[in-house]
Amino acid sequence: MPAPKTKPRKPAKPSKPSKQGKFTRPDPKRVAEILKRLDATYPGATCALTYRTSWELLVATILSAQCTDARVNMVTPVIFKKYPTPQHFAALKPEELEPDIRSTGFFRNKSKSIVGAARKIVEDFGGKVPETMDELLTVPGAARKTANVVLGTWFKKAVGVVVDTHVHRISRRLELTGNDDPKSIEQDLMQVIPQSKWIDFSHQVIHHGRALCLARKPRCADCPLENICHAADKTWSTVDVHKWARP
């Protein structure tokens, strides 16, 4: 006789907070299991932006703010054909670039950032994207998230963890951080994730956020992390949920 079908459980009642407060440092064994399952689910995950050089990656990352990678990947081939090098961008006025990047949103600020970045790189770094965090942070448009993308993806330097909207949301759901601002979240992740995994972790979590751990209605029934995730906003759960573990 076939085994009777079991009904999916609804989210369980939230567990009580520990005496230490809402958030406690995650168990290293649980973190290792999360990393293991991400490796198995997203092997070889990398940046979804298309680029051929470190400069192109920097520009694409600046454009990706509040914009999908798919849209950015439609825009960048056009602008890189018109303006092949940082020197070409540096010669522009920001308003000349605006029409080409309008569809990515916030195009006026992005135009200023890209042209400013080109001028800074041409004037101060010999036309080459710098390879250190301190130097990259002096480039217009390159805040810490953008700098981490370029350093990790192009230069293969794990000096930090990319914290975008997906990493922010999922790190809180998985209780890898109790903080809400990107800078503090990055510092928390750097303490609990081995440095050798910083680059892969960000790429994998970003893929996970797009595929399963959605902002609204996460696909928990299909998630490989389901039974070690206690997020308060799970849509289906086989484990207790923690009311403080939310995006």
* Rounded Cα distance, 139 and 129, in Å: 9
Q: What is the pLDDT of residues 70-104, one digit of tens each?
A: 999 999 999 999 999 999 999 999 999 999 999 99
pLDDT score for 25: 84
Residues 174 and 246: their CA atoms lie apart, in Å, by 8
Q: Which of 120, 164, 188, 234 is catalytic?
A: 164
Q: Contact 143/150 with Cβ under 8 angstroms? A: no
**Active site includes 124?**
no
Q: What is the pLDDT of residue 161?
A: 98
Do 76 and 69 form a contact (C-beta atoms < 8 A)?
no
Q: Name the pTM for this structure.
A: 0.88
Report pLDDT for 188.
97
CA neighbor of 142 nearest in space, from 168, 116, 122, 163: 116
Is 145 a known active-site residue?
yes
* Cβ atoms 190, 159 nearer than 8 A: no
Q: Which of 120, 145, 197, 234 is catalytic?
A: 145
Per-residue HEC secondary structure of the chain comes to: CCCCCCCCCCCCCEECCECCECCCCCCHHHHHHHHHHHHHHCCCCCCCCCCCCHHHHHHHHHHCCCCCHHHHHHHHHHHHHHCCCHHHHHCCCHHHHHHHHHHHCCHHHHHHHHHHHHHHHHHHCCCCCCCCHHHHCCCCCCCHHHHHHHHHHHCCCCCCCCCCHHHHHHHHHCCCCCCCCHHHHHHHHHHHCCHHHHHHHHHHHHHHHHHCCCCCCCCHHHCCCHHHCCCCCCCCCCCCEECCCCC
pLDDT recorded at residue 238: 97
pLDDT number for residue 11: 44
Q: Which domains does the chain have, with CATH numbers?
A: 14-44+161-242 (1.10.1670.10), 54-154 (1.10.340.30)
Quick one: pLDDT at residue 3?
A: 44
Q: Which residues of the chain fall below pLDDT 70?
A: 1-23
